């Protein structure tokens, strides 16, 4: 990346409360800026990345890869409800909640951090759906 003159990519790290890139770790202040994540966007981003880790080396479905790219690009906007619903449906079809996935991942990674999906859960429940984003 340095040779190309590009910024290092941010890395999803479930063991850290801040995001990291190849050159340093950055903790964002709590005040809101235009580079700040929308709470629902961040929750959806974390949920998809947890699925990726849970699935291991399985190739990412095209639509999930598109969701992740859009979440990175439009991180300060609320995600479309249909995308939240899609990720919830994947969890429902796998008969797993995000809590179940975290519990499974904690067996081999006891230091994995906790995640909250309260905003997405509320949005799903407000639309009459059972949330698997717990």
Rg of the chain over Cα atoms, rounded to whole angstroms, equals 15
**What is the four-CA torsion angle of 116, 37, 17, 56, rounded to 10 degrees?**
70
Local confidence band at 60 (pLDDT 50, 70, 90 cut-offs) = confident
User: 26: helix, coil or strand?
Assistant: strand
Say what angle helices 62-73 and 39-55 make with each other, to 10 degrees: 140
**Which token pair is 57?**
């080396």
What percent of the chain lies above the pLDDT cut of 90?
A: 64
pLDDT tens digits for range 93-125:
999 999 999 999 999 999 999 999 999 999 999
Cα separation, 133 vs 99, whole angstroms: 8
Cα separation, 78 vs 106, whole angstroms: 29
Local confidence band at 23 (pLDDT 50, 70, 90 cut-offs) = very low
Residue 82 has pLDDT above 70, yes or no: yes
> Mean per-residue pLDDT for 18-39?
56
- In the chain, alpha helices (H): 39-55, 62-73, 81-93, 98-108, 118-126
Cα separation, 17 vs 90, whole angstroms: 26
> Mean per-residue pLDDT for 11-28?
50
**Which token pair is 122?**
């509320």
What pLDDT was estimated at residue 41? 97
Domain boundaries, the chain: 35-126
pLDDT tens digits for range 36-54:
999 999 999 999 999 999 9
The whole-chain average pLDDT of the chain stands at 84
């Amino acid at each position: 990346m340095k040779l190309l003159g590009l910024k290092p990519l941010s890395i999803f790290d479930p063991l850290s409360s801040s995001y990291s890139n190849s050159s340093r770790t950055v903790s964002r202040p709590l005040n809101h800026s235009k580079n700040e994540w929308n709470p629902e966007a961040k929750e959806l981003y974390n949920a998809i990345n947890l699925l990726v880790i849970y699935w291991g080396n399985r190739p990412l479905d095209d639509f999930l890869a598109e969701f992740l790219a859009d979440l990175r690009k439009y991180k300060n906007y609320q995600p479309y409800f249909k995308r939240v619903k899609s990720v919830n449906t994947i969890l429902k079809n796998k008969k797993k909640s995000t809590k179940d996935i975290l519990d499974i991942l904690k067996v081999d990674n006891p230091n994995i951090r906790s995640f909250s999906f309260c905003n997405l859960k509320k949005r799903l429940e407000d639309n009459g759906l059972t949330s698997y984003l717990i």
